[in-house]
Amino acid sequence: MADLSSLAQGIVSGSISVIDLTAPLNPETPVLVLPEPWGQTAKFSSTEISNYDERGPWWYWNNFSTGEHTGTHLDAPNHWVSGKDLDDVSQIPPQRLVGPAVVLDFVAHTQADPDFLLDVTHIKEWEAKHGKLPAHGWVLFRTGWSSRGNAQDTFLNADETGPHTPGLSIAAANYLAHETDILGLGVETVGTDAGQAFGFETPFPCHANLMGANKYGLTQLRNLDKLPTTGAVVIAAPLKIEKGSGSPTRVLALVSK
């Protein structure tokens, strides 16, 4: 039987730390902007219902509204046409929201080139050093992009040719989707695909391949620098929105000190 009491004790004593990989959700949280004529997602917004006042003397609460894909969020398989008959976000088995995580650190490459694309050779070199990508695990692509914070312009890094943010090559997206048994791909950027991926020969290859292979995306992750290369456990908890294509998600990592 698994020893949950030592896990609990580790969390209580601090020998296992709980790292929050989630970006704060507020009206400034960056959102994806797609080229014309495609529809746009909404930013997060909130309106006060009462604040210990005449509208509710003893309570404070708000109504919020947001896109499903705003801030740190999970892409469900049905988000893409390739996965349209697969799970919506409410149908994802909870066992598939928790798994071992590995970190692929390409901060240096991304600093040299904001359009850096992770390719199959990078993944294979990483696997030669650190072992196979874990079955039922999260692959976390560390680019340092989260240090650009909550400002839409620096985060999207767009010019007249569109956004310039790192992502995966078509071949790498294919490899993760079809040659591995991972849960999904987590990134620091606004979406799993590169900023320029709208113009790739296979547009948005991460979305097309991962969703079609019943895998997930996790975006706008923070604190990946606080994780070991291997050995963390990541828990992603999206809202159980029926028919939802995704949801803002609290993403937590357990790390043994």
CA angle 115, 146, 113 (to 5 degrees): 20
Q: Applying CB under 5 A, does 69 fall inside the site for Mn ion?
A: yes
- In whole angstroms, the minimum distance from the beta carbon of 73 to ligand 23J comes to 7
Sign, Cα dihedral of 185, 137, 72, 66: positive
Measured CA to CA, the distance from residue 82 to residue 237 in angstroms comes to: 23
Does 164 participate in catalysis according to the annotation?
Answer: no
Taking the least distance from each CB to Mn ion, the nearer of 74 and 101 is: 74
Residue 68 touches which member of ligand 23J, Mn ion, none, C-beta under 5-8 Å by kind: none
Which residue in 79, 130, 136, 207 is the catalytic one? 79
Taking the least distance from each CB to ligand 23J, the nearer of 76 and 232 is: 76
Query: Which of residues 30, 75, 104, 244 is near Mn ion by CB under 5 A?
Result: 75
- Partners of 256 in beta bridges: 16
- In whole angstroms, the minimum distance from the beta carbon of 176 to ligand 23J comes to 16
Looking at residue 218, the DSSP 8-state letter turns out to be: E
- Our CA dihedral for 227, 229, 231, 237, rounded to 10 degrees, sits at 50
Taking the least distance from each CB to ligand 23J, the nearer of 37 and 57 is: 37
Looking at residue 210, the DSSP 8-state letter turns out to be: I
Q: At what angle do helices 170-178 and 120-130 cross, to 10 degrees?
A: 50
Residue 32 touches which member of Mn ion, ligand 23J, none, C-beta under 5-8 Å by kind: ligand 23J
- In whole angstroms, the minimum distance from the beta carbon of 79 to Mn ion comes to 6
**Which residues of the shown chain bind Mn ion in the complex (CB under 5 A)?**
69, 75, 246
